[in-house]
Amino acid sequence: MAYSTYTNLQVTKDNNVLTIAFNRPEALNAINDAVHKELVSIFPEVNKDDDIDIIILTGNGGAFSAGGDLAMLRDQHRDAVATSKGIHQDRILQNAILDLEKPMIAKVNGPAVGLGCSLALFCDFVYATPKSQFADPHVAVGLVAGDGGAYLWPMLIGYARARKYLLTGAFVDGQTAADIGLITDVVSEEDLDATVDKTIKKLLNTPKYAVRWTKASINAGLKVTASAVIDVSAAFENVSMFMEDHKIAVEAMMERTKPNLTGK
C-alpha cells in the first residue's frame, strides 16, 4: 500500500504493525479537511493490506487530536456543499472503522476531543496518561454529536453517564475515563509505550483470525446500534451547521470570549 502518499497523517510500518499518527502538532492535531480526507482513505486501505495485523492510532506532539479545526468549521457555516461533503465523509469513516477486523490500539497522551475522541473510542484498546482528556463537546460549538459519540459513549459507559458528558460537552480526565469504563486503562506517561508494546506482543501471540473474527462479532452488535444512530445524528449535525448559534459559538471559542447566543 502507498502509505508514503499520506502527509497529514504520519504512517509508519514496523513489520506487521502500522502506526497512524495525526501530524498537525502545531494545531494540537486538529482535524481539517485535508486530515479528514486522509482518514476516510486510510482505513479501507489498511483493511485490505495483508501485511498489517495491528494498527496503532496516536498523535504527534502534545495531543492526540483536538477535534474539528475551528477555522474550517467557521468557513463551512451555511455552505451546503462543504457541509454535506463533510457529513458524508464522516459516515464513510465511521463505517470503515466499524468494518475493520484488525485490532486497533489508541495511544493517548493529551487531549482527545470531538472527532478525535470518537476515533480513540472506536479503538479496541485505549491507553491514556493521567494528563489526557476526553470530550465530545459538539454542543459547545452549537453542533450535534454526529461523528460517533452519540452511540459510542452510551455503549461504553451507559446512557445516564453519556448524557452527562454529551449534553454538556464536559471533559473527563484519563483516570476518570478509565474508572467509568470509557477507556481500557490509564498508565503513566513513562509506561505508555511499554503498555502498548505489551498488548501488541499478546495479540501477536494469539491466533490472529480468532482475534479478528471475535472483534468482528463484538462489532456486529455495535453496528446494529450505529446503523440506527448514524443517519439521524448526521442529519441533525448537518442542520445544526446552518444555525446562527453555531457560528457565534465557534467564533467565540476562536477569540476565547463568551458567546452571545441567540437561540437560533
pLDDT digits (tens, 9 = 90+) for 1-51: 789 999 999 999 999 999 999 999 999 999 999 999 999 999 999 999 999
Is 139 in contact with 145 (CB distance < 8 Å)? yes
Domain positions in the chain are: 3-204
pLDDT at 149: 97
Element (H, E) at 18: strand 17-22
What residue ranges of the chain have pLDDT lower than 50? none
Measured at the CA of 229, the angle between CA 241 and CA 168, to 5 degrees, comes to 55
| Torsion angles phi and psi, residue 120, rounded to 5 | -65, -45
In the prediction, which pLDDT does 66 show?
Answer: 96
**Confidence at residue 77, expressed as pLDDT on a 0 to 100 scale:** 86
The SS3 call for residue 29 is: coil
CATH class, domain 3-204, is alpha beta
